[in-house]
A and B are shown apart, each in its own frame.
Chain A
Amino acid sequence: MGLAKRIIPCLDVTNGRVVKGVNFLALRDAGDPVEIAKRYDDQGADELTFLDITASSDNRGLILHIIEEVASQVFIPLTVGGGVREVEDVRRLLNAGADKVSINTTAVLNPKMVQAAAAKFGSQCIVVAIDAKKVENQPFEWEVFTHGGRKATGLDAVKWAEYMVSLGAGELLVTSMDRDGTKIGFNNPLNKAISDAVEVPIIASGGVGNLQHLVDGVKQGGADAVLAASIFHYGEYTIKQAKEYMAQHGIEVRL
């Protein structure tokens, strides 16, 4: 037996509260990030991803306190993304207890920042998040978008992935903007194209609606890890159920 495929629940955090993830029946304070993180850890989550979607820069520091709290109680890898603009942001998040930092829009605006962060802290903690959309008007199939999928970049997602790895990205979080929120499954051809093109692990994201989608993400999309939010947050499935289902379908997981 060897390396297990990972299941990663994603928590969207704004102003210090989790905004998705309000349906754990036993939780007194449903939006408390620390309590939710502990619950996922108990269920057997392999990692946790926090996405800081706080709009105002005034409240950005709140995420640091949350990560500090979580990191002193939950002993699995923690990834934090959202609003990471400078190498100094990476340092602050790592010092707060994040194990990896996910860089998205800034990677496009300033690729050198990815390179500088990887050189300073090591590739193992630098995740580049790629938001991709299928396009018709380009010589390639999937285009990179930024600003939450609003701005086209003209970049080929597969070539972009290769470039980010060459600059030092240790892992890629690939989100299909076409699939995000649809619950019709991952964009497996996109994930497979990127997974085949690079040596580093990829996390598939966007579109999970049921447990078979997780299996397909690994088997068809070549994902090393699968990220999901709503199917776990709204109590449709536990992490444990997801892992058992994947194991029944021949995927190695940590049970």
Chain B
Amino acid sequence: MSKIDIAVVDYGMGNLRSVSKALEHVAPAKTVLVTSNPVEIAKAKRVVFPGQGAMPDCMRELDARGLRDAVLYAAQYKPFLGICIGLQMLFEHSEEGDTAGLGLFKGSVKRFATADMVDSNGDKLKVPHMGWNQVYQVNQTESQPHALWQGIEDGARFYYVHSYYVQPDDESIISGFSQYPKRFTCAIAKNNLFAVQFHPEKSADAGLQLLTNFVNWAPN
């Protein structure tokens, strides 16, 4: 088997083309493989864990393909980027379909509460949270932004589409937040892992910069 620089985990939940195209665009010299083969995921130097649709289906399909262990291993030991449901699945539990997640992080996934969905002008806010919102970076260590925020303005807009958000028990893993209308966690980071709620592959220059940073990232 030839070398695999970046594996995009495919568990049958929709379209991963956007993710792989964006990675190929920022890293034309790298081998990007969309795969549902645990062996290939184990061999890859970096792993991207995307996801769309509903979390109960995502968890079921992940297990149906026998990918749970490969994903958990990658999430702990190699540069790993979770996107959207790929962030949510890392937690213990989701309100969506009362679903158990992978449990790598303590905390839960919650739906935007209808009662909160009003902006400062009193206008109704829609769910799903769909469109471009500002992402505020959190300096987790001293005053240094995370390597994946390099070259991205604090408050840059990224593209979102989701109705659920993560609520980590351990606040030290929070690397970014947005507001809709309340503050919610949109990025977490720990060691070799970074995971975001927004879609970097659909977020124009800011998103491509984040993917570039991931491709070049050498976590300790």
Identify the A interface with B (CB < 8 A): 1-6, 41, 46, 71-73, 75-77, 94-99, 121-125, 170-171, 195-196, 199-202, 222, 224-225, 254
Contacts and interface: CB of A to CB of B under 8 A. Distances in A.
A4 B21 contact: no
Closest 6 CB pairs of A and B: A122-B53, A94-B15, A254-B132, A201-B126, A124-B161, A4-B132
B132 A3 contact: yes
B119 A2 contact: yes
B18 interface: yes
Interface residues of B, number: 43
A76 B14 contact: no
Interface in B1-38: 13-15, 17-18, 21-22, 24-25
B203 A4 contact: no
Contacts of A76: 159, 202-204
B131 interface: yes
Given A75-B208, A124-B52, A6 B21 contact: no
Interface string B50-66: 00111000000000000
Nearest to B54: A122
A97 B14 CA distance: 11
10 contacts: A2-B119, A6-B132, A71-B21, A72-B21, A75-B22, A75-B203, A97-B15, A124-B52, A124-B162, A196-B124
Given A4-B157, A75-B22, A196-B124, A95 B130 contact: no
Given A2-B133, A76-B202, A224 B126 contact: yes
Contacts of B207: 75
Nearest to B16: A95
A228 to B, nearest CB: 17
A46 B53 contact: no
B202 to A, nearest CB: 5
Nearest to A42: B204
Contact of B17 (A77, A95, A224): A95
B204 A75 contact: yes
A163 to B, nearest CB: 18
A224 B131 contact: yes
B134 A201 contact: no
Contacts of B160: 3
A121 B14 contact: yes
A5 B17 CA distance: 26
Contacts of B13: 122
B124 to A, nearest CB: 7
A177 B5 CA distance: 51
B179 interface: yes
Given A2-B178, A75-B202, 16 more contacts: A1-B134, A1-B155, A2-B179, A3-B133, A4-B157, A5-B131, A71-B18, A75-B25, A76-B204, A95-B15, A96-B17, A125-B15, A171-B128, A195-B124, A199-B127, A254-B157
Contacts of A125: 14-15, 52
B54 A201 contact: no
Contacts of B134: 1-2
B125 interface: yes
Nearest to A93: B15
B52 to A, nearest CB: 5
B105 interface: no
A97 B19 CA distance: 10
B25 to A, nearest CB: 7
Contacts of A46: 131-132
A16 B137 CA distance: 42
Nearest to B207: A75
